[in-house]
Structure 1
Amino acid sequence: MPRTPLPIGTWGEISTRTLKTTKNHKPLKHLAHARFRDHDGKVRAVTATGTTKTAARTALLLKLQNRARTNHSGDLSTNHKINHLLDLWEKRFEGLVADGTRSPTTLGTYRRSLKNHVRPAIGELHIGEATTQRLDTVLTSIKQHAGAPTARTCRAIISGAMKLAVRYGALTINPAREVDTIETKPKNPPRALTTKEVTLLQKTLTADGHALQADLPDLVTFMLGTGVRIGEALAVLWHQVNLEADKVEITHTIARPPGEGLIRKTTKSRTGERVLSLPTWATTSLRARYATDTEPDAPIFPNSIGGYRDPSNTRRALRTALSPVASTARRELGQTLRALRRQKRLSRKQAAHILGWPQTRLELIETGRLKPTHPLISSLAKTYSIDLDNSPDLLTQLSEATKPSESDKLAWIRSHALRKTTATALDDAGHTARQIADQLGQAKVSLTQDTYLHRQPANPAAAQALEHAFDDPDLI
């Protein structure tokens, strides 16, 4: 009867022998030996050495236990570095992107976080060294230096990688699972444009030469009339628009994955593929753009040479048009401050470090996109060795720059505010959250309710409903 084979991932009896002795035949080195059945089914000899039999045996046991946790293909073990695990995880995510189940823009976001935060923090550790405490410390540090959103992205990456390590047998539990939740202050409630703000927005864009050149008025009209994302709006082709039936088909979005350039790809999910009805004013705007020689496969909002527009550049153009630069004086003040910084031979990064500011704040001041105040500019001038109160020309510029501007009311608006405005208008009209989510192309109704619907300060009908519910005079 044949001998029963060792189960996969187990070993037989450990034996030891003396490997080296002194001249007096005193043992100096011992060898521990065992036969291990690998995950490919083959039995292999595994050895370890030590100065004593116990040390050799202990070293061999550790070696065998680590080998037993190796994955079936032998590609991953607790002794591998986390960088190797991250490579495997990234490759698998690339496969999901190729299958169309994940977005290439998400992959780009993850790659930036991998390069800038995750790999520098834990890449050189061994997988077995990734304890919950160590990962929690790393993520807390990332949150402090890069912010909570970046820390949450890093947590998702690390958790996904460690889940892969568990799946491959290198770990028995996911150490990232018990990492403390990354919490931040509650976000500001969703804010939608009022009717007056919509009117002011269109008036401002129509009167702005740069906004007209960037083709923003019609784009904003289309987004308000549909609630689509900016990338979806830029991906619509003329053959997807039915001007007679007031319909538009949304199937794709424009993205720029790293190293690929602009691409027109399918929407995030099947929910994003939808046919929307257009309000008359949106159809009128599109009809005015349409010409008989228009190519059916041309985008309805093309760039200057008829191709696809970059969503990032379009967002930047909208920010510029709506930022508080109505004030040419704010732009001029920013240019003056930039010149003073350069005279001191300081980079933005260096000046921001001296002031203890985020670099973006200095950038917003120098580009005229932040409403200046006397204390703000005084601190900046002091860094450049200038006494603001004894600089009449600079004070005059500051005085002009601080005057209120009509466009200040629009400075908060970003492209996503247009989606929230559409969602809130539908909510006010009595549409259900499910109907609004379908309009926006969102699978989760909860996301629509929590993130896109403007909260009303009060429900006027509540008092009337309660009055009828409890109108028993004995209750009073």
Structure 2
Amino acid sequence: MGATVRRTGRRRDTLTHLARHQPASLKNHVRPAIGELHIGEATTQRLDIVLADIKNHAGAATARTCRAVISGAMKLAVRYGAITVNPGREVDAIEAKPKNSPRALTAKEVALLQKTLTADEHAVEADLPDLVTFMLGTGVRIGEALAVLWHQVDLEAGTAEITHTIARPPGEGLIRKTTKSRTGERALTLPSWAAAMLRGRHTAGSRPDDPVFPDTIGGYRDPSNTRRSLRIALSPVGSTARRELGRTLRGLRRQAGLSRKPVAQTLGWPQTRLELIETGRIKPNHRLGSSLTKTYGIDLDNTPDLLAQLTDAAQPAESDKLVWIRTHALRKTTATALDQAGHTARQIADQLGQAKVSITQDTYLHRQPANPAAAQALEHAFNDPDII
């Protein structure tokens, strides 16, 4: 979209004007697609095709951002008199179904989760059992949970105020900022078990402005690091066999003179995955073991002892049931529990701090069987054997 517009004698590229605000979308998607068009050539039909292509290749979220960039550029063009109508306003809405249907933990899975976390030294050290309890009892986002201060908790009344979230914007470091909308500011009543947990962790030395869930030196915790700790804790330590296999593989890596980073780069893995394997927290299979040992110059199929270790480590374990859980699953579990208790979608959205009820219904509520009373009503309606 190389066309320019005139204002007080100066030439100005409207896309360049927006570059500071949306650099990645502009550079990676918008400019390559329509950067050579004149403003007048950017019709609604063309923009529809471009955004559909971006959605297919980069996802709906990126396509929405690109639409906002294009629409903003066209708005400037209308303001400066280059065109009379903003074609970006008329493009089709960009919608996408969730990649996975909402899945909530069952009561048995919640019990297994708490049992696993409290028995895991790493999880206890990372203060995960209490944090997970608080998130299940409130439905808050992980950043919101980490931003709660002690003066926002009323231990006697059993309530907590949610007003801020913890984030790490690029170039700004870790900050505590207000929620992204007024809907996110809410006062929540805690279930008795969540309130009891908070009373148990509150000490005489706790100051009003201290975080309820601080880092090791009493400051704010990084949500990304906390998610990583939870992923590690929920990766199953399935058996002694897995831990022994992990120690063996770690020894082979060190014997080959390799650190985790080059091994992960060679295999195209994140370093975290290699760490989880070596600590016995991933259920292995032959393909995984063969790829890893090949990197160390070892043929797995010609190493019977190692192959037997791998076979033992691949046996199912109870904790394998938790490997799918991420922090958002806790939020969905809370929403689904409220739904099953008969709360309306609006009430659940208010609990979660969401302005749009549709998001709550589509993304956070585990689908239940259709209206149970429907079968009974149909039975009464068509109970004449001559009809059916």
Pick closer, same or farther for the CA change 1:127–1:222 going to 2, 3 Å.
farther
Q: Distance in 2 between matches of 1:372 and 1:404?
A: 10
Deviations along 1:353-393, one digit per CA (max 9) or x if unpaired, are xxxxxx45x86356326432223433555576643211234
* 2:233 alignment partner, one of 301, 307, 321: 321
1:233 aligns with 2:165: no
Identity between Structure 1 and Structure 2 (%): 59
1:268 aligns with 2:180: yes
> TM-score, normalization: structure 2?
0.82
Match of 2:354 in 1: 442
1:402 aligns with 2:334: no
Deviations along 1:145-174, one digit per CA (max 9) or x if unpaired, are xx4256435534533443344343445555
| Most deviating of 243-252 and 373-382 | 373-382
Pick closer, same or farther for the CA change 1:155–1:296 going to 2, 3 Å.
same
* 1:427 alignment partner, one of 339, 355, 358: 339
Q: Is the 8 A contact 2:29 2:54 kept in 1?
A: no
1:188 aligns with 2:120: no
Match of 1:152 in 2: 63
Q: Distance in 1 between matches of 2:249 and 2:288?
A: 12
SS of residue in 1 equivalent to 2:211? coil
| Most deviating of 408-417 and 382-391 | 382-391
Q: Distance in 2 between matches of 1:126 and 1:243?
A: 62
Q: Is the 8 A contact 1:420 1:453 kept in 2?
A: yes
Q: Is the 8 A contact 1:219 1:301 kept in 2?
A: yes
Deviations along 1:250-275, one digit per CA (max 9) or x if unpaired, are 11111111111111111121111111
* 1:378 alignment partner, one of 290, 296, 299: 290
Q: Distance in 1 between matches of 2:103 and 2:179?
A: 25
* 1:85 alignment partner, one of 13, 17, 39: 17
Pick closer, same or farther for the CA change 1:159–1:73 going to 2, 3 Å.
same
* 1:121 alignment partner, one of 32, 35, 42: 32
Q: Distance in 1 between matches of 2:209 and 2:115?
A: 31
Deviation at 1:346, TM superposition (A): 5.7
Q: Is the 8 A contact 2:103 2:332 kept in 1?
A: yes
Pick closer, same or farther for the CA change 1:262–1:451 going to 2, 3 Å.
same
Counterpart amino acid of residue 222 in structure 1: F
Q: Is the 8 A contact 1:192 1:454 kept in 2?
A: yes
Match of 2:276 in 1: 367
Deviation at 1:195, TM superposition (A): 0.5
Deviation at 1:235, TM superposition (A): 0.8
SS of residue in 2 equivalent to 1:367? helix
Q: Is the 8 A contact 2:14 2:77 kept in 1?
A: no
Deviation at 1:342, TM superposition (A): 4.3
Deviations along 1:221-268, one digit per CA (max 9) or x if unpaired, are 111111111111111111111111111111111111111111111112
Match of 1:453 in 2: 365
Match of 1:201 in 2: 113
Q: Distance in 2 between matches of 1:199 and 1:253?
A: 28
Q: Distance in 2 between matches of 1:389 and 1:177?
A: 61
Match of 1:23 in 2: none
Q: Is the 8 A contact 1:243 1:283 kept in 2?
A: yes
Q: Is the 8 A contact 2:263 2:295 kept in 1?
A: no
1:218 aligns with 2:137: no
Deviation at 1:399, TM superposition (A): 1.9
Deviation at 1:331, TM superposition (A): 3.9
Q: Distance in 1 between matches of 2:289 and 2:300?
A: 8
Pick closer, same or farther for the CA change 1:386–1:279 going to 2, 3 Å.
same
Deviation at 1:438, TM superposition (A): 0.7
Deviation at 1:456, TM superposition (A): 1.6
| Higher RCO (C-alpha 8 Å, min separation 6) | 2
Match of 1:166 in 2: 77
| Structure with max Cα Rg | 1
Counterpart amino acid of residue 328 in structure 1: R
SS of residue in 1 equivalent to 2:220? coil
Match of 1:98 in 2: none
Deviation at 1:112, TM superposition (A): 4.9
Match of 2:299 in 1: 387
Q: Is the 8 A contact 2:166 2:177 kept in 1?
A: yes
Q: Is the 8 A contact 1:114 1:154 kept in 2?
A: no
Deviation at 1:176, TM superposition (A): 5.4
Q: Is the 8 A contact 1:225 1:279 kept in 2?
A: yes
Consecutive unaligned residues in structure 2, runs of 5 or more: none
| Most deviating of 377-386 and 243-252 | 377-386
1:414 aligns with 2:331: no
Counterpart amino acid of residue 148 in structure 1: G
Pick closer, same or farther for the CA change 1:227–1:287 going to 2, 3 Å.
same
What RMSD over aligned residues (CA atoms) do the two structures have, in Å? Answer: 3.6
Counterpart amino acid of residue 407 in structure 1: S
Q: Distance in 1 between matches of 2:51 and 2:342?
A: 47
Pick closer, same or farther for the CA change 1:402–1:275 going to 2, 3 Å.
same
* 1:140 alignment partner, one of 36, 40, 53: 53
Q: Is the 8 A contact 2:33 2:50 kept in 1?
A: no
SS of residue in 2 equivalent to 1:210? helix
* Aligned residue pair count: 376
